[in-house]
Amino acid sequence: MHIEDGRFRTSRSRDDTPQDAIKALRSEIFKGIGDTQLPDVMLEVDAHTRFSWSLLNRPPHNERELLTLYAALLAHGTDLNARQVVRMVGGVREDRVRVTTASFALRSNPWSSNKRMVTRTLSSRTPPIIRTTSRAFRSVP
């Protein structure tokens, strides 16, 4: 940073991380994780923890309701809106994703769901997908 013509100026920051190092790290992460996709992780974690039951305050009625819940979680946890998520997740309706997302603040207890997931994840019955993923991340420098 320096002053030039009475103004603060900063030089453009240079990327100190070589692209080869980034590519190597990415390859190492994917080698450890494998072909696991986010929906697979959500399904397996939910199968072991039943966080969906906490979010719905009951067991899901059917597969469509569960897909809608997952889509709403994706929208809620990203910069995507309901319309964008519906384009990615087949078989769910935009209005249902919007309502489900809004209901998180009104009727569900996210802290209870988080606590349930963390408690079950840290127990001896940790889902294999989480054991694999966490090993992969611990092994990356």
Q: pLDDT digit string (tens) for 84-117?
A: 999 988 889 999 999 998 887 676 566 666 676 6
What's the rounded mean pLDDT across residues 123-132? 55
What's the rounded mean pLDDT across residues 7-28? 72
Reply yes or no on whether the pLDDT at 120 is more than 50. yes
Reply yes or no on whether the pLDDT at 130 is more than 60. no
Tokens of 90: 């087949």
Buried b (16+ CB within 10 A) or exposed e, 36-69: eeeeeebbebbebbbbbebbbeeebeeeebbbbb
CA dist 19 and 15 (Å) reads: 9
Pick the range with the lowest mean pLDDT from 8-12, 27-31, 101-105, 137-141.
137-141
What's the rounded mean pLDDT across residues 69-95? 90
Q: What is the pLDDT of residue 140?
A: 38
Reply yes or no on whether the pLDDT at 6 is more than 70. yes
Q: Please indicate, yes or no, whether the overall pTM of this predicted structure exceeds 0.85.
A: no
Q: What is the pLDDT of residue 65?
A: 92
CA 50 from centre of chain: 16
